[in-house]
Structure 1
Amino acid sequence: MLDTQSPSGPDMLSQPGQAQPGQTQPGQTLAIEARGLTKDFGAFRAVDGVDLRVQAGTVYGVLGPNGAGKTTTIRMLATLLRPDAGDARIFGHDVVGEAHVVRSLIGVTGQYASVDETLSATENLVLFSRLLGLSRAEARRKSASLLDEFGLTAAAKRPLGKFSGGMRRRLDLAASLISQPPLIFLDEPTTGLDPRTRAQMWDTIRRLVATGSTVLLTTQMLDEADQLADRVAVIDKGTVVAEGTPDMLKESVGVSSLQLRLTEPAMLPAAADLLENVLAVPAALSPEAGALTAPLQDAGKVADLLVALRDRGIAVAQLSVQKPSLDEVFLTLTGHAAADEPTDEDMEVAS
């Protein structure tokens, strides 16, 4: 397991004179600063000393399986749960002592739609807009704009009981964006969405950051964290086990792999011998695909390999270098997959 506190850790740890992971550089603003956040439900410790530093104007991913403590962490940051230990600040305001100020700075979208199913989509958004202080005319304009952005205009007057799960998720996010607060908490926002709607949600998240918001995103979908997050905290069993950019996390668990596909599969054994001589690493052959794979510890030697293959008359049809995936990162750091079955996090939801 990667020790995020050790001074001898891998590349994700800072060098002298550089900022620590998540640390702001001069002139940058912290949207979230949490230290030692802890929450117990009876004998079960859902969150165990979580530290987070989230720079304003970024997407920060909290990655972990069900039961990891992600939802409880968000609920404490959003003033919905009081921490048992530790403290947290949102744009410098304490989540306990200044909860009313914090609530004016945040929007929260959970895993389940919080809209009123007895109302239409338009009626829901107008109601929420009015509660936030918009005039009747402003509420209708804002509602129409959000329905258009989320592809719900055609269903604006439809009873929510006839909405699909994906439509409900989009409406829930739309409701949280009526005022587009500086900080938006998205708790597994794409759960249950089809690939097309999920891609639309990703585009919306990118737009939110591009127009000035900060997003804290919890997810157990590793590709989602890889696509969206500027930095990622890997959380397991209530504890942050690693933190850094997606690329830093990938680099911390292993080397990249070189994949070669040959024009003539019959040349695979000769190519494998040549690769092992030039790169000094073993190659794995895949005869049916006409390809071979090897760990790549020195990218500078790839050019030498290509020259050697050309000199031997071995034609390369395709070459690629792949970094470890976030799936491999999570498995290496925690010993299990990110989509493992839930543990006791149900206790958080019920609390």
Structure 2
Amino acid sequence: MADLVYTPAERAAISLDALRLPLSVQEKLFPYDAGAMPPDVTGECFRAAVRGVLTKEEYAKWEGALCGGEWFEKLLREYASRGVACVTRFSHTYPAGCLSLPEPPLVLYCEGDVSLLSVQKFGVTGSRRIPPHLEKLAEEYARGIARKFAVVSSSAAGGDSAALRGALESGRAVCVLAEGSLVAGPACNLSLFARIRERGLLVSEFPPSFHAPVYRFSARNRIVAALSDVLLVVSAGSKSGTLITADLVHKLGRTVYAVPCSPGVAAGEGCNALLKEYAKCTDKLVDIAAAFGINLTETEPVPLSEREQSVLELLRGGPAHSAALAEKLGLQPQETIVLLTLLEMKGKVVSLGGNRYSLV
């Protein structure tokens, strides 16, 4: 990835976050106030506040970060080599939803398509101990929803992982990790994370190598909630962490959907409770599709190579012989025949016989 250029405020936030200061200390240095301007990190007032919470060695590192110190530049090179982009509370790409949280993360460590922070996102979540039929349902919902929205969920096994898998089949997925991306689990999801890096976005509030204590794992729920413009709960037990996500989304004034379950099904007790309180009911994908104008029958456009597109452009002038096409494209006749055969298979051209072709 290209080297990213960070502002002084961003550099101050990234460097302080790398020192892993307690949240209470971070908030003293960067008190959150909606609409507030970034602090003057080069001013003496801010520097004095930083000196008051850091050791001499830490302060030297932090001060160097503002003016190209080796420790910080090495850190940024390490992040860049791993494809990590740092989105701070002072970055224009920082998601507005996170600013609605009582304790918005100071830095989000992102791997993949950072532009997905700015598009509409639909949260799809479910419990870890999800019955097989509901796991399939989570995949189905996410597959359909991803036709219009980026689907966001956590890295947990079970319903959340099913939602991410389904989303990748037809669109984009945003996965919120419980710890740093280099150490995040579960191990069974490592291949899924790799796919999301390529076709979506991994997000963590922790630096890549940071091992978060287990009691902090539920903190990712607030980020899933903040990123979700709408939320669907496919399964949730009576004490499921999924309910934390749903409650946060509801408190943020956004719509929550839940799938009803038969009485006595433990994995659905939480969903039924949500339906009694504030959630809207859905038991099939068409409910969501109708509410949000998602076309479930439209087929995805067939991807074409540059050469294939060049062939189609030439054929827009009318039917042509493969030899004439080869000459205009600067290709060998056999290469052109292969391209035309591929385009036939993709339903773009038709053979007229005698090595002549036209658009369908």
Q: Pick the TM interval, shorter chain.
A: under 0.3
More strand per residue: 1 or 2? 1
Q: RCO (CA 8 Å, sep 6+): is it higher in 1 or 2?
A: 1
TM-score, scaled to structure 2: 0.24
Q: TM-score, normalised by structure 1?
A: 0.24
